[in-house]
Chain A
Amino acid sequence: MTLKEELENVLAEIKNIGGIEASAIVSRDGLLIASDMKDDVHAETFAAMSAAMLGAAETAVSELRKGLTERVIVESQHGRIIAMGAGPKALLVVMTAPDAGLGLILVGMRKATEKIMELLK
């Protein structure tokens, strides 16, 4: 199995958690590595903006000396975007339905980020 397929498997696994509509693994500097998204979304732009979002949040947090950034959660009218670091090289972003329960999703994402970190070592 190629690295890309292994990463895609990680995304397929978290999809089994209810409420996740789309997901992507993005390099810290904004390049799309793997995605599970509908065709009408321009995944590359989404990837770049997610990386910018998490990067800016991390920079803001470290300026305030508040330790490590756990995650960024964006709540919008039709859903949520959650971005989490997955090691020094990548981040994981998912989109959820607006009423999806966060608990299981966050646990699932934590597990996924550990796997991604391991794969991209």
Chain B
Amino acid sequence: MLKTGIPKLDEMLGGGVPAGKSLLFFTQPGIEGDVFGMQALYNALSSGLRAAYVLTMSPPYEFFESMREFGWEVSGSSKDRLIVVDGYSRLVGMDSEEKYVVDNPYDVNDFDAAVRSVLEEIDALFFSSLSDICDMCGEARTLESVRAWLELAAKKGVPVIANFTAWPYDAEILEGIKDAFDAVVKIAGIAERIIIGQYYSVTKANWVKAEEKALLFKVIRPGGVRAYIPKILVTGPYNAGKSTFVRALSKRSVSVDRLGTTVALDHGYIDHKGIVAEIFGTPGQERFDPLLKWLGGESMGVFLVVDSTDEESFPRAKKMLEMVRVSGLPCVIVANKQDLPGALPPEEIRKRMRLEEDMPIVPAVATEGKGVFEAFEILVERIMGI
């Protein structure tokens, strides 16, 4: 099984791309789709596989440079395991030191010869851009060859991952290329309401029943593709430890604290296990309630932080949850201050707050960072639904 290393994608694909199967990253023009294939390539090389990369977008040194920008150093033994099929240098009349050089990149037969022979040496095959090959060699001829390559790779049990930018080709070509692959991941832009971003979704996979679910992503350098949650709200009564919770969770955070309490907003940035998220912490005191209404907009999930020793604050906690929680928004209760005497256990809190049976309640000590990432992982799972 070839893992892509793209957060959440392997899970959606039932573990990755099986031997002999093929995956197409079908990218809308203007969206950063190339990085998906590069990340999968790096992941394959680091797990010890021998891979070939059919490069048509830039000369090899530029390709290695952009890999480096993402923090994916290809050198030493991982470089030995990589074969670059250079389909670019001859295009601009440059010399190439690669073992496989496509002499005439305008002739699909030259690509064909290289692909057929490199398939004998590798465990996984990658294409930097099949649309580039379409542009150079003609769409219909390229599609025909792609079908033949996939068939041959399937026979040899070699998984194939390819990028394709969906320029306005004939519908026949666009559909034909999608049909040729066993799985298709669509990468596109989103401008729904006011979240403007990029998403990916598995639109087809013939080895697993994949749910068609769109995940927002962000590309960071270094780092590559991260699943992205633009807004998670942290709310809860006065003195429950919301700011401490935001700080414990975040790589970087700021807080508008005056006289020891949050007066405007905490803001944190999380990068944890392939997920990037922005955290918005609300003030807890009632006099700031007018701010809560608009702070809550567009959030994709809610943490409700409660002081487990302070039963009197529970009604207020519940009211705050109602204020910010649009129906059905995923939520996790953080039962904070578990280290203090008199802290109620989660199940007791559920009873006293009369919370639904399936509402997760995570015991935590935010000052020591205990329980905070457990709570985060549970909420992420609920938001992404995988």
Shortest Cβ distance from residue B196 to the other chain A in the assembled complex, whole angstroms = 5
Query: Across the interface, which residues of A come within 8 angstroms of B230, CB to CB?
Result: 31
Interface residues of A in 1-49 (CB under 8 A from B): 2-4, 7, 27-31, 33-34, 42, 44-45, 48-49
Query: Across the interface, which residues of B come within 8 angstroms of A59, CB to CB?
Result: 290-291
User: Could you tell me if A90 and B280 are in contact, using CB atoms closer than 8 angstroms?
Assistant: no
Interface size (B, Cβ < 8 Å)? 24
Interface size (A, Cβ < 8 Å)? 24
User: Could you tell me if B189 and A2 are in contact, using CB atoms closer than 8 angstroms?
Assistant: yes
Contacts A44-B267, A45-B267, A48-B265; is A31 near B254 (CB within 8 Å)?
Answer: no
Residue of A nearest to B230 (CB): A31
CA distance A75 to B314 in the complex (A): 41
User: Could you tell me if B264 and A52 are in contact, using CB atoms closer than 8 angstroms?
Assistant: yes
Shortest Cβ distance from residue B102 to the other chain A in the assembled complex, whole angstroms = 34
User: Could you tell me if B191 and A52 are in contact, using CB atoms closer than 8 angstroms?
Assistant: no
User: Could you tell me if B189 and A49 are in contact, using CB atoms closer than 8 angstroms?
Assistant: no
User: Could you tell me if A29 and B265 are in contact, using CB atoms closer than 8 angstroms?
Assistant: no
Residue of A nearest to B264 (CB): A52
User: Could you tell me if A31 and B298 are in contact, using CB atoms closer than 8 angstroms?
Assistant: yes
User: Could you tell me if B194 and A31 are in contact, using CB atoms closer than 8 angstroms?
Assistant: yes
CA distance A35 to B360 in the complex (A): 37
Q: Please tell me which one of the listed residues B196, B252, B254, B278 contacts residue A33 in the complex, with CB atoms under 8 A apart.
A: B196
Query: Across the interface, which residues of B come within 8 angstroms of A42, CB to CB?
Result: 252, 269
Contacts A2-B189, A4-B189, A120-B194; is A29 near B296 (CB within 8 Å)?
Answer: yes
CA distance A52 to B252 in the complex (A): 18
Contacts A29-B295, A42-B269; is A48 near B280 (CB within 8 Å)?
Answer: yes
Among all A-B residue pairs, the 4 with the closest Cβ atoms? A29-B297, A52-B265, A48-B267, A52-B264
Contact surface of A with B, Cβ cutoff 8 Å: 2-4, 7, 27-31, 33-34, 42, 44-45, 48-49, 52-53, 55-56, 59, 89-90, 120
Known: A3-B196, A31-B195, A45-B267. 16 other contacts (CB 8 A): A2-B30, A3-B191, A7-B196, A28-B297, A29-B294, A30-B231, A30-B265, A30-B267, A31-B194, A33-B194, A49-B264, A49-B267, A52-B264, A52-B265, A52-B291, A90-B194
